[in-house]
């Protein structure tokens, strides 16, 4: 599937900026709270909550923070009422952006997103203006140095994966959203544990950007994710690692 490798590149870039900002816990807490509110506080019966908790644990979030976020979602503790919003936009070089947010004030959030886009040479799109360029997929990233390729491929396909690819020192296993946790659990039962697992908007094809457009795009994505309400920005760009390194 197009975009796997480039998608992982920007994830490495964003992980570094998240660490610098120290903002990751706030976003994870919101996701846990909303997941618990929508599907209940039992991660065993709430796949979205299970994913959020797994991600929080991987980020070394303290157990008490996770439990408190779950209780706020279920109403056991008083909390803020967040709603999900999705903005579609274009960035420098014609790159499509899917901007996911959790907010208690949608009017404030859309104004902040529009401002960041206008400052970063981007613009807001109408509903469905760019979403058709993406597919909602589960993604499991495995350490290719730990598992042999053929047995891992076989295990992934038997578990119901829709795609399997090797990219340097990792395997990327793609799934349908509905079978994401089934595939993840089946692999874990065979001792194959993902380094990272998530449900994302994956581009069907990518747009090549370089030079000034590449630098402007990365700055725009970072500025959008600096917003407290924005959880994540998915994009369909293709960029050289040298551009990322320079950023």
Residues 111 and 220 in one domain: yes
Q: Is 121 found in the same domain as 216?
A: yes
Q: What is the pTM of this model?
A: 0.84
> In a structure prediction context, what are the per-residue pLDDT tens digits for the chain, which is 247 residues long?
233 454 455 555 555 555 554 568 889 999 999 999 999 999 988 888 998 998 899 888 999 999 999 999 999 999 889 999 999 999 999 999 999 999 999 999 999 999 999 999 999 999 999 999 999 999 999 999 999 999 999 999 999 999 999 987 889 999 998 899 899 999 999 999 998 888 889 999 899 999 999 999 999 999 999 999 999 999 999 887 776 666 5
In this predicted structure, what is the pLDDT of residue 224? 95
Short-list 141, 155, 181, 144, CA closest to 39? 181
33 and 143 share one domain: no
Does 159 share its domain with 38?
no
Show the 3-state SS of 189-201. Answer: HCCCCCCEEEEEE
DSSP string for 126-149: -TTSSGGGEEEEEEEEEETTTS-H
Q: Which of 56, 74, 92 is the last residue of a domain?
A: 74
How much helix, strand and coil, in percent to the nearest 5, is found in the chain? 50, 25, 25
pLDDT score of 10: 52
Q: Which of 74, 91, 107 is the last residue of a domain?
A: 74
Count of domains observed in the chain? 3
Domain coverage including residue 56: 4-74
């Amino acid at each position: 599937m197009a975009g796997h490798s480039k998608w992982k590149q920007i994830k490495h870039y964003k992980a570094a900026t998240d660490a610098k900002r120290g903002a990751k816990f706030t976003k994870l807490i919101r996701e846990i709270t909303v997941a618990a509110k929508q599907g209940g506080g039992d991660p065993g019966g709430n796949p979205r909550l299970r994913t959020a908790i797994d991600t929080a644990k991987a980020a070394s979030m303290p157990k008490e923070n996770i439990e408190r976020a779950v209780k706020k979602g279920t109403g056991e503790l008083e909390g803020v009422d967040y709603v999900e919003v999705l903005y579609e936009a274009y960035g420098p070089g014609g790159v499509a952006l899917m901007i996911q947010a959790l907010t208690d004030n949608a009017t404030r959030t859309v104004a902040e997103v529009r401002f960041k886009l206008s400052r970063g040479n981007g613009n807001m799109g109408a509903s469905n203006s760019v979403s058709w360029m993406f597919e909602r997929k589960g993604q499991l990233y495995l350490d290719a140095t730990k598992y042999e390729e053929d047995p891992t491929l076989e295990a992934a396909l038997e578990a119901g994966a829709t795609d399997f690819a090797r990219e340097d020192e990792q395997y990327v296993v793609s799934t349908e959203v509905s079978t994401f946790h089934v595939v993840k659990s089946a692999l874990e039962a065979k001792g194959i544990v993902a380094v990272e697992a998530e449900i994302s908007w994956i581009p069907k094809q990518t747009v090549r950007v370089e030079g000034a457009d590449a630098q402007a795009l990365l700055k725009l994505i970072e500025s959008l994710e600096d917003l407290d309400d924005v959880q994540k920005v998915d994009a369909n760009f293709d960029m050289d690692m040298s551009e990322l390194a320079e950023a």
